[in-house]
Amino acid sequence: MVEPSFAKRSVINHHEYLQGASIITSDANGIDDNEVSTTEGHLISYDYLVIATGHMGSKCVTKPEKLREYETYNGKIKSSESILIIGGGPTGVELATEIAVDFPTKKVKLVHKGSRLLEFIDEKGSKKVLDWLTLKKVEVILGQSVDLTSNSDDGTYKTSEGETIMADCYFKCTSDPIGSSWLKETSLKDSLNDSGRLMVDENFRVKGFENIFAFGDITDVAELKQGYLAQKHALVVAKNLELLINGSDGGNMVKYTPGSPTTIVSLGRREALLQVWCVTSIGRVPEYVEPASFVMAFNKARADGTPFPPPDISFPKSNFVNFSFTISKSETATQFSPNLIKQSNKIAGLGHNEINKA
């Protein structure tokens, strides 16, 4: 949104890395014992099914649409003097920090209904991020929400406490809904927990099913929802599928132990908040810190003047990618890191992955 070349380099088409898999661009909307249906009327039979519909995400289907969406956002930022950001989770905070660094003269206000920013990190971390933003002259209003129905064309917004905010534009950065509403009418409905996440065992098999796996943000694994952890899940799922496809009775499947609570929230171009266990710090994050790989790889490529992704990226073919189907509502993925692409290829897909043995 703030740096258009970032979008051009990070949005990739599924077919660029899923070589050999059949990609169906549509919303999955039903599952029965051996078949998945889509809103466009596809019926795809499966022996093994992998569900990775983390969050609903953007409505854009093609890469040009996605890039246009980012350009529109970028144009909005450039043409506005005052910008209102609604939501103090990672999306809102990262956007505010990037605008503050790239456009230091613009007035940025961030309104968050919680009592502190980034509630999933500890209080010390929230305070450090608040101080960072304040130093960069971003005004943060906590404990209030913005009533968007009150917005008139003159750029006036009312908060839940009756405050009036003037802004040339706003960005709603509240979290996307979990991508599980489509499962509520299916045989998997009893495998959803109260928050709409799929309950999985330590092998990532969906509760009550032998041949259905789920991983990533859609699952109830008790850990922070992070892309680098979804990558680890993907490896376990890929290994377990391979074992089952090769005739294992499941007894030797790989078990997953929830990851160490490492969190990173990027702050502008060069810095990030890093929280490892109970240690929180702000500054430049070393490259070896796993979840930093996307931001760090991008910054490094830019500093070195080299293309992103790095030229040595390779796309390994798995044993079963050639007889798999991937259903995804969009033709594109946002490349999180070169590793994610490598691992996604092993199990044939992002979004909603369906692996067909026969």
Which residues would be at the binding site for ligand FAD (CB under 6 A)?
Answer: 27-28, 52-57, 90-91, 94, 179, 182, 216-218, 225-228, 230, 264, 291, 327-330, 350-352
In the numeric block, the tokens 């991983």 are attached to 215
Quote the least distance from Cβ 179 to ligand FAD, whole Å.
3
Q: Is the Cβ of residue 159 or residue 226 nearer to ligand FAD in the bound state?
A: 226
Indicate the residue among 151 and 262 with the shorter CB distance to ligand FAD: 262
**In whole angstroms, how close is the CB of 349 to ligand FAD at the nearest point?**
9
Helix 123-135 vs helix 90-102: angle between axes, to the nearest 10 degrees?
30
Closest distance to ligand FAD from the beta carbon of 234 (Å):
8
Helices (H), the chain: 4-10, 14-17, 63-79, 90-102, 123-135, 227-245, 293-304, 338-347
Sign of CA dihedral 281, 284, 287, 290: positive
The enclosing H or E element of 328 equals: strand 325-328
Q: Are strands 325-328 and 332-334 parallel, antiparallel or unpaired?
A: unpaired
Q: Cβ 350 to ligand FAD, closest distance in Å?
A: 6
* The two structure tokens encoding residue 9: 């380099």
By beta-carbon proximity to ligand FAD, the closer residue of 182 and 308 is: 182
Q: Which among 8, 11, 5, 2 has a CA at the least distance from the CA of 74?
A: 2
CA–CA separation, 74 and 242 (whole Å) = 43
Smallest gap from residue 91 Cβ to ligand FAD (A): 4
CB nearer ligand FAD, residue 122 or residue 217: 217
- When the beta carbons of 228 and 298 are compared against ligand FAD, the nearer one is 228
